[in-house]
Structure 1
Amino acid sequence: MDEKVKYELEFPITSSPQLLYQYISTPSGLSEWFADNVNSRGEYFTFIWDDSEERARMASKKSGERVKFRWVDENNKDSEYFFELRILVDEITKDVSLMVVDFAEQGDLQEARQLWENQVADLKHVLGSV
């Protein structure tokens, strides 16, 4: 397996940081745009898409600002890979952006970016932020 590379994407979002945080940090919020279904048990989240299921641990969070999920194996052991969703607010304009930090194999980078663009488009639709 190729080594994965870290990448970041930033998406402007018309939403309050508090509302946006609900959609990036709760199972019900995440299941509205990120995965077909999301369940949580304590700090462990199960993300379900069609026939695939992935588990992650909420490694850190700061209310209203960011969440970080670290992928885990079947024994709940942390992998070296994670994805982080950060809410950025411009101090002057108060514009809100969502910063995505994720990993992908070099050959899959473009596809991974496209996937996030599609998912964040769904998030914007749910938020009424077009």
Structure 2
Amino acid sequence: MMPKEKFQIEFPIHASPSMLYQYFSTPSGLGEWFADNVNSRGEMFEFIWDGVAEEAKLLAFKSDDRAKFHWVEDEDENAYFEFKIQVDALTKDVSLIITDFAEEDEIEESKMLWENQIGELKHIIGA
């Protein structure tokens, strides 16, 4: 197994942090743009795409700020994906920073997938 590398991408989004937070911290919010359907039981989240379910554990969260998940089937214990809201102190511009892990030869593809997903999110919230 190739070691995974951490990467980050930043997306400017015209939305308030509290509104944006709902879209990546709740099953209903995530189900609108990230997966076809999302269910949760406590800290376990089930993401469904085309009838296939994948489980992720919510590792950490902070209201209106961040949510961090780990795919249960990922053998790399250190790998996670995180949504983090960043607000510029001066301009008050809001950005969503995605942190994820992928094998070196899959990073570009992973970034493109995130760009598509975040494009969908922006479309939904009209940002």
TM-score range normalised by the length of the shorter chain: over 0.9
TM-aligned CA distance change 1:111 to 1:125, over 3 Å? same
Report the AA paired with residue 15 of structure 1: A
Structure with a larger share of its residues in strand: 1
Map of 1:105 onto structure 2? 103
Structural RMSD (CA): 1.7
Structure-2 change in CA distance of 1:79 and 1:55 (3 Å): farther
Give a deviation string over 1:47-82, Cα, whole Å, max 9, x none. Answer: 111143211111100000000011214xxx993321
Aligned AA (2:15): S
Q: Provide the C-alpha distance between the structure 2 equivalents of 1:105 and 1:53, rounded to a whole number of angstroms.
A: 22
SS at 1:40 equivalent: strand
Matches within 5 A, 1:35-114: 35-73=35-73, 79-114=77-112
State the Cα deviation string for residues 20-68 of structure 1 (Å, max 9, x = none): 0000100000011111111101110011111432111111000000000
- Matched length: 127
Q: Percent identity?
A: 56
**Paired residue for 2:24?**
24
Q: Which ranges of structure 2 fall in alignment gaps of 5 or more residues?
A: none
TM-score (norm 2): 0.94
**Cα pair distance change 1:113/1:101, threshold 3 Å:** same
TM-score by length of 1: 0.92
Preserved contact between residue 70 and residue 78 of structure 1 (Cα < 8 Å):
no
